[in-house]
């Protein structure tokens, strides 16, 4: 009967374990190589966009995908094609006919006939009596106007080298003048008279003596 020591048995088991581990590693390496070849064969006609590495988009580390696809454009293309023919209904009937024939009555009758039969104002007439005699003088003027009673004016008493003027309307008719002088004994006496069918401007000068007066002018 053989007797085997414990250390020798332990070394034997360790050798067996190492051989098993070596064989298992070789098998796993061969399997991994097959998977890699299969992956490469699958990606030979495809591309995959892998996410960026942990270092960010600017990371310089090796890519896990040797054939990265072209980045998908983020700008959406818009169709700018315009239909060649777009039917538009432009035939909209518009009634633009405007009646311009509007009768206008421009004949405005104007009555330009103005009555010219207006009485013209007649200038007043003045009657002046001037005393050059050695006595006192006074005189009266009477006249008529249409549709009114007889009118009369009085000069008052004035002495030698004095004169008085009375004014009557220019339309007066039947004008009469009475000039008197004062004698001192018999009172007032008529020196002279004047009469006119229409009003007129006159100047009469009284002269002479107390009992024999005279009038010139008028």
Condensed to tens digits (0 to 9), the pLDDT of residues 125-155 reads: 999 999 999 999 999 999 999 999 999 999 9
pLDDT, residue 43, reads 44
Whether 102 has a pLDDT exceeding 70, the answer reads no
Model confidence pLDDT, tens digit, residues 103-125: 566 656 566 656 566 667 889 99
Q: What is the mean pLDDT of residues 51-73?
A: 52
CB atoms within 10 A of CB 194: 19
Parse the chain into domains and list their residue ranges. 1-38, 125-216
Residues pairing with 128 in the sheet: 165, 203
**Which token pair is 128?**
């002046």
Contact assessment for residue 41 and residue 35, using Cβ atoms and an 8 Å cutoff: no
User: CA 200 to CA 174: how far, in whole Å?
Assistant: 11
pLDDT at 194 over 70: yes
- Distance, in Å, from the CA atom of 179 to the CA atom of 188, rounded to the nearest integer, reads 10
Using alpha carbons, list the distances in angstroms from residue 2 to 5, 10, 14, 178: 10, 17, 21, 214
CATH fold group of domain 125-216: Immunoglobulin-like (2.60.40)
Residue 185 above 80 pLDDT? Answer: yes
d(CA 165, CA 15): 184
Q: CA gyration radius for the chain?
A: 78
From the number of C-beta atoms within 10 Å of its C-beta (0-12, 13-18, 19+), residue 87 rates as: exposed
pLDDT of residue 14: 80
Cβ-contact 150, 169 below 8 angstroms: no
């Amino acid at each position: 009967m053989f007797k085997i020591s414990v250390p020798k048995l332990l070394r034997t088991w360790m050798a067996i374990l190492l051989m098993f581990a070596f064989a298992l590693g070789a098998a796993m390496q061969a399997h991994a190589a097959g998977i890699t070849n299969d992956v490469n064969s699958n990606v030979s006609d495809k591309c995959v966009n892998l996410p960026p590495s942990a270092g960010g988009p600017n990371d310089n580390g090796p890519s896990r995908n040797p054939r990265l696809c072209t980045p998908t454009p983020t700008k959406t293309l818009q169709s700018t094609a315009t239909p060649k023919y777009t039917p538009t209904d432009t035939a909209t009937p518009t009634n633009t006919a405007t009646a311009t024939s509007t009768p206008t009555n421009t004949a405005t009758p104007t009555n330009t006939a103005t009555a010219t039969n207006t009485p013209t104002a007649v200038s007043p007439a003045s009657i002046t009596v001037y005393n050059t005699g050695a006595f006192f003088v006074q005189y009266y003027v009477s006249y008529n106007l249409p549709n009114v009673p007889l009118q009369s004016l009085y000069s008052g008493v004035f002495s030698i080298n004095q004169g008085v003027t009375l004014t009557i309307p220019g339309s007066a008719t039947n004008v009469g003048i009475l000039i008197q002088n004062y004698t001192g004994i018999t009172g007032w006496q008529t020196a002279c008279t004047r009469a006119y069918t229409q009003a007129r401007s006159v100047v009469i000068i009284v002269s002479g003596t107390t009992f024999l007066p005279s009038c010139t002018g008028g």
